Amino acid sequence: MPEMPEVETVVRGLRRVILNQTIANIHLNAPKIDADNPRGWLNRLKGQTVVAIRRRGKNILIDLTDRYTLWVHLRMTGQFHYVPRNHSRDKHDLMEFSLLGNGHVLRFRDYRRFGRVRLRHTDEIMQEEGLADLGPEPLEISAGEFVHLCRKSSRMIKPALLDQSFIAGLGNIYTDEMLFAAGVHPRRLTDRISRKKLVAMHGAMQAMLKRSITMMGTTVDTYTGVNGRTGRFQKYLRVYGRDGEPCPNCGTMIRREKVGSRSAHFCPKCQRLW
C-alpha cells in the first residue's frame, strides 16, 4: 500500500497538472465506486474546478468549487495517470476525468479494485470516519510530542506505528526502516523504550520520509507517480524486504516475523528485544 511519501508524491503531481482545471466529463467503470456515493454524484462533478489538493495521512483530498471534495484512498494498487486524451484506456482504469480544453485526461487505475473515490461536502469531510480519527502527521509532530505519544500507552511499537489513529501515514516499509535506524525491536513496548531511542526514532522517521519524498517514494510493487514514473527510495531500504540477507551493520541475517497481524523485518542483533 502506498504510504505517506508515495501519497504526498501523488498529491504534488496532481497539483502540477489539474489544479485550477475544470472537469468536463467523467467516464466510470466501477460499480463499487458508484455505489459508495450519493445518487447523481457524477453529474455534480461536471463543471467543477479543482481549487486545492491536499493530503491527510494516506488520504488525498481534491477540493472543488461549490464546496465539494473528492476523497481518494489508493489502498493497495490505486494510481493516478495524467495522459493525452487519445491514450488508450486500460481495463483497470476505473475512472477518467476529461479536463475542459486541456487535451489530457486524468485516470484512476486500480488493479485490485480496493481503492475508494468518494464525493463529500468540503465543510463536513474532516468529520468523516477514516479522517476524524487520524493521529498526528509524522512530519508535523515534534520529538517531545512523539515521546509523549509513545509513553502514554503500553503496546508493541510496530503495531502502534501502523495504527493510523496513533500516527497517520506510516506503513510496513517506513516503520521497519525507522525501527532499524533507531535500534528498536518491533515487539518492544512503547512505554519501555528509552527517551533517547524514541528521539532517535523520531529523527530517523522524519529524515527518511523527507528523503523518500524527494525520490518520489518507494516502489516495491505497482506504485507510480502521476507521470507514470516509479519511486527510487527502494534502492536505500536496509531491512524491509531483505529477510535472509545480511544486516548492513553487523552481518546477522535479517528476519521477517509476524508482529501483531503484520510482518516485520529486523536484525535480531542490532534490534534486541531486551
- Domain membership flag for residue 133: no
- 107 and 169 inside one domain: no
- 250 and 152 inside one domain: yes
Return the pLDDT at 77. 95
- 17 and 66 inside one domain: yes
- Domain membership flag for residue 135: no
Return the pLDDT at 222. 86
Q: Closest Cα partner for 55 from 68, 45, 44, 69? A: 69
- 220 and 121 inside one domain: no
In degrees, to the nearest 5, what angle opens at C-alpha 207 toward C-alphas 202 and 208? Answer: 100
**Cα→Cα distances 25→106, 164, 193, 269, Å:** 11, 34, 53, 57
Radius of gyration of the chain (CA): 20
pLDDT lower than 70: segments of the chain: none
Return the pLDDT at 26. 96
- As given in the structure block, the three cell numbers for residue 157 are 511499537
CATH assignment at residue 52: 3.20.190.10
- Domain membership flag for residue 149: yes
- Domain membership flag for residue 271: no
Which domain-ending residue is among 95, 127, 159?
A: 127
DSSP state of 133: T
- 225 and 119 inside one domain: no
- 108 and 78 inside one domain: yes
- 104 and 212 inside one domain: no
**Cα→Cα distances 271→13, 102, 138, 143, 184, Å:** 37, 53, 22, 21, 5
* Residue 67 and residue 123 in contact, taking contact as beta carbons nearer than 8 Å: yes
Determine the Cα–Cα distance for residues 228 and 226; give it in Å rounded to an integer.
Answer: 5
Residues spanned by the domain of 214:
143-266
The question of whether 8 is a catalytic residue gets the answer: no
User: Coil, strand, or helix at residue 166?
Assistant: coil
* Residue 2 and residue 74 in contact, taking contact as beta carbons nearer than 8 Å: yes
The question of whether 262 is a catalytic residue gets the answer: yes
Q: Quick one: 190 exposed, middle or buried, by C-beta within 10 A (0-12, 13-18, 19+)?
A: buried
- Domain membership flag for residue 137: no
User: Coil, strand, or helix at residue 178?
Assistant: helix
63-118: pLDDT as tens digits: 999 999 999 999 999 999 999 999 999 999 999 999 998 899 999 999 999 999 99
- 161 and 220 inside one domain: yes
For the chain, the domain total comes to 2
DSSP state of 49: B
* Residue 99 and residue 21 in contact, taking contact as beta carbons nearer than 8 Å: yes
DSSP-assigned beta bridge partners for residue 79: 109
Return the pLDDT at 140. 98
- 151 and 105 inside one domain: no
- Domain membership flag for residue 273: no
Identified catalytic residue from 58, 109, 116, 120: 58
Identified catalytic residue from 2, 138, 159, 186: 2
DSSP-assigned beta bridge partners for residue 62: 53, 70
Identified catalytic residue from 137, 238, 262, 268: 262
Determine the Cα–Cα distance for residues 135 and 177; give it in Å rounded to an integer.
Answer: 20
- 106 and 173 inside one domain: no
Return the pLDDT at 1. 79
CATH assignment at residue 259: 1.10.8.50
The whole-model pTM stands at: 0.96
